Amino acid sequence: CGGDATRDYSAAMRPADDALAFDNLPGFTRSASHFDHAVISVESRVWAGQRGWKKATTAHIVSPARGANFAMYLADMGEESSAEPAAAAVERFALVLTGEVSVRHGKKNIKLGPNTYVYFPPNSTDVLSSEDGAGLLIYERLYSAGGKPVFSHGEVEESALLPTGPEVFKLRKLLPQTADYDFNVHIMDFQPGEYLWVKEVHYNQHGLLLLEGKGIYRLGDKWYPVQAGDAIWMAPYVPQWYAALGSRPTRYVIYKDTTLDPL
Ligand code: UGY
Ligand code: MN
């Protein structure tokens, strides 16, 4: 018998190791959107110019358009890029993911590289810029606490580890835990196999970016395999639980409107 040399069916016999190499399978995404949570994976990010951002694009992941009390977005700053201060009364937190940014704060010029953060209180006039480019995670919200939050910046690894009660994950909070602040930003580290002890249901909202590792996130009655780069929005009271899996630790960064009066 002859056979057809023009056809190659080897994709159907590919080794199991390649089975999940989806190669951007048309129409396939792990992103999901429900009334009380959303998962936004990397292939769903939509980049666009944004008012106040020069030579930069942003990809919004969470905003008041879906009922959140904050905005969470990624900023891709190009060479010679800059960001004007946030609108009046809006506070802004930035975590540097890649590259380097400069912050002009009064007479000081502060340089911030990967794994550092900066907080601008409402009505700040400080300008953020990048000479060679940078990737940032930004949280913003209309300030609502009636206190006096102040400009701050620092290195993630230098902020203190905090007690976590029955939980085994490692916890850092990047903003002061006082009533001057209406949100905080937590850095959470899990070893593979560690998981949340509390199957949390709480009034606070979350915006999460998985920075390293992989695992399973339970949101409501759904279970999501997640990996570094995935982002999650959690509405008030959505049941939430995470288990870190695989061979590497998980680190995620998470917004929490932690000191707000639930009333
Ligand atoms: O502080 C928190 O609410 C945090 N443990 N939630 C979470 O990781 N989903
Ligand atoms: Mn929580």
Ligand 1 atom at shortest distance from the alpha carbon of 186: 1
Q: How many A from CA of 151 to the centre of ligand 1?
A: 25
Q: Is 115 part of a structural domain of the chain?
A: yes
Instruction: Check if 141 has its Cβ closer than 6 Å to any atom of ligand 1.
Output: no
Residue owning the nearest CA to atom 1 of ligand 1: 256
Name the residue of 196, 218, 253 whose CB sits within 8 Å of the most ligand 1 atoms, as the mutation to test its pocket: 196
CA 140 to chain centre: 12
Q: How many A from CA of 239 to the centre of ligand 2?
A: 9
Instruction: Check if 240 has its Cβ closer than 6 Å to any atom of ligand 1.
Output: yes
Closest ligand relative to 242 C-alpha: 1
Q: Is 13 part of a structural domain of the chain?
A: no
Residue 242 tokens read as 């995470």
Q: Is 263 part of a structural domain of the chain?
A: no
pLDDT at 96: 97
Q: Is 102 part of a structural domain of the chain?
A: yes
ipTM: 0.99
Q: How far apart are CA 157 and CA 189, in angstroms?
A: 11
Q: Please, is 97 exposed, middle or buried when counting C-beta atoms within 10 Å of its C-beta (0-12, 13-18, 19+)?
A: middle
Q: How many A from CA of 234 to the centre of ligand 1?
A: 10
pLDDT at 81: 98
Residue 241 tokens read as 């639980």
Ligand 1 atom at shortest distance from the alpha carbon of 188: 8
Owning domain of residue 127: 29-256
Q: Is 2 part of a structural domain of the chain?
A: no
Q: Is 197 part of a structural domain of the chain?
A: yes
pLDDT < 70: residue spans in the chain: none
Q: How many A from CA of 130 to the centre of ligand 1?
A: 32
Q: How far apart are CA 68 and CA 46, in angstroms?
A: 19
Residue 39 tokens read as 């998962």
Domain count, the chain: 1
Please count the CA atoms within 13 angstroms of the CA of 221 that sit on its side-chain side.
0
Residue 113 sits in a domain of what CATH number? 2.60.120.10
**Do residues 135 and 76 touch, judged by C-beta distance below 8 A?**
yes
Residue 259 tokens read as 């000191």
Q: Is 110 part of a structural domain of the chain?
A: yes
